[in-house]
Structure 1
Amino acid sequence: MENYAVFLRGINVGGINIKMADLKTALADYPFTKVKTLLASGNVVLQSELSPAKVKSEFEKCLRDGFGYDAWVVVLTASRVAALVEACPYPADDKATHSYITLASDKAMLDELFRAGEELDGMEQVRLGPEAMAWLAPAGGTLDSPFSKLSSKARYKASTTTRNLRTFIKVRDAAAAL
């Protein structure tokens, strides 16, 4: 049995509203155990005997079939989430900046996004691995930051999702506690 973290993209924004209690109920019909939802922004931890790719496939099927949501999720093992938190060089709590981790299910898309970020003036970012990068945004200006605007383009929608480092730490802790 492996502990996993599942990060949903675009849930409870832009008209796609799924109650976490309803999601948890729907997931009961799938090969997952100890399912827990965290926050309302689409973070789930669970256990499964399936591979990460199969967890992704089954989870997306649940979202499509149960909610009519053409879903995109990134699935990581609990140990990988912990390693990414440890590798992030930015602070979880800072009054001047907010730290983010962008995850991708498609390495080529993350490569492209990272290269595009390198072209932005004042952009501070670091690659954490083939599936993740960390970046900083000014406190209070995340959505208006050039990188946030870049990463929200439709081109990256199917393969990337971003979480505040504080959220990522909560997911790490919940996945480890399963």
Structure 2
Amino acid sequence: MNSYAALLRGIMPSNPNMRNEKLRGVFEGLGFDRVATLLSSGNVVFRCADSDEAELEDRIQEALNRELGIAGGTIVRGHEDLRALIDRDPFAGRTHERGTYLTVTFFKDRHPEVATPEAADELTEIIGYDAEARAFLTVIDNSTPRTPDFMAWLDKTYGKDITTRTWLTIQKVVKKLEA
């Protein structure tokens, strides 16, 4: 059995169709094993015999749309890939804390044409693009209620086929996959 994390875009726990128990139900209905949700922001871990992540993304997204009306994006990453990202320690020496968020923006595309802006806004430090994880790594100044321009740039440049998680969330997902 392979272990995966599905990172769902646009999940709002206030929407009754987006609650964890309903999300788990969709994944269980697809025949996946050891389905569990993490936090209330669209992180679902599961096991299955399938090994094609793109096919899993499509199957999951179709089921979410059909059964719960969730049209957002689904990005799947295997346990080994997420574990390898953590082991590379891309944020070495930095701490995720109240005013400084370490973030990972995952791309659905298998071979994205990645453009890095000349300079991020004053609220964002770009650590870089991790090709193995297909993810941008950034440090966000979260001490202000303003949304960083970089996040808007990501959405404008790459559309809905991306999703962002904090580094702490990625660590929690991997821990859940290893439980």
Shift in Å, 1:145? 1.5
* 8 Å Cα contact 2:7-2:163 kept in structure 1: yes
Residue identity over aligned pairs, in percent, reads 25
Greater displacement, 140-149 / 123-132 = 140-149
Q: Is the 8 A contact 2:120 2:126 kept in 1?
A: no
- 1:59 matched to 2:60? The reply is yes
Per-residue CA deviation, residues 114-168 of structure 1 (Å, 9 max, x unaligned), is: x23x433553321222511210111324752121222233x53321000011111
Moved over 4 A (4+): 13-17, 107-110
Structure 2 CA distance for partners of 1:85 and 1:16, relative to 1, 3 Å: farther
Consecutive unaligned residues of structure 2, counting only runs of 5 or more, are none
Q: Deviations over 1:39-97 (max 9, x none)?
A: 11100100011121221121111111111122311111101111112224323434552
Question: Larger helix proportion, structure 1 or 2?
Answer: 1
Q: Matches of 2:43 and 2:152 in 1, distance apart?
A: 22
Paired amino acid for 1:29: G
The alignment's TM-score, normalised by the length of structure 1, stands at 0.85
Q: Which residue, 103, 106, 110 being the options, matches 1:103?
A: 106
Q: Distance in 2 between matches of 1:160 and 1:14?
A: 22
Residue 59 of structure 1 aligns to which amino acid in structure 2? I
Post-superposition shift, 1:36?
0.4
Would the aligned equivalents of 1:142 and 1:148 in 2 still touch at CA under 8 Å? no
Matched AA of 1:144: T
Residue in structure 2 matched with residue 120 of structure 1 by the alignment: 120
Q: 1:27: Cα distance to partner?
A: 1.9
* Cross-structure match for 2:77: 76
Counterparts of 2:145 and 2:114, CA distance in 1: 21
Distance 2:6 2:86 in 1: 15
Q: Give the aligned partner of residue 44 of structure 1.
A: 44
Consecutive unaligned residues of structure 1, counting only runs of 5 or more, are none
Amino acid at match of 2:168: R
- d(CA) in 1 for partners of 2:155 and 2:35? 28
Q: Output the CA distance in 2 between the equivalents of 1:5 and 1:18.
A: 17
Give, in whole Å, the separation in 1 of the partners of 2:41 and 2:113. Answer: 21
How many residue pairs get aligned? The number is 173
Could you tell me which amino acid in structure 1 is paired with residue 159 of structure 2? K
| More displaced 10-residue stretch of structure 1: 91-100 or 160-169 | 91-100
For residue 135 of structure 1, the aligned residue among 133, 138, 163 is: 138
Kindly indicate whether residue 169 of structure 2 is the aligned counterpart of residue 167 of structure 1: yes
Q: Distance in 2 between matches of 1:127 and 1:88?
A: 13
Normalising by structure 2, we get a TM-score of 0.84
Q: Give 1:28 shift.
A: 1.8
CA RMSD of aligned residues (A): 2.4
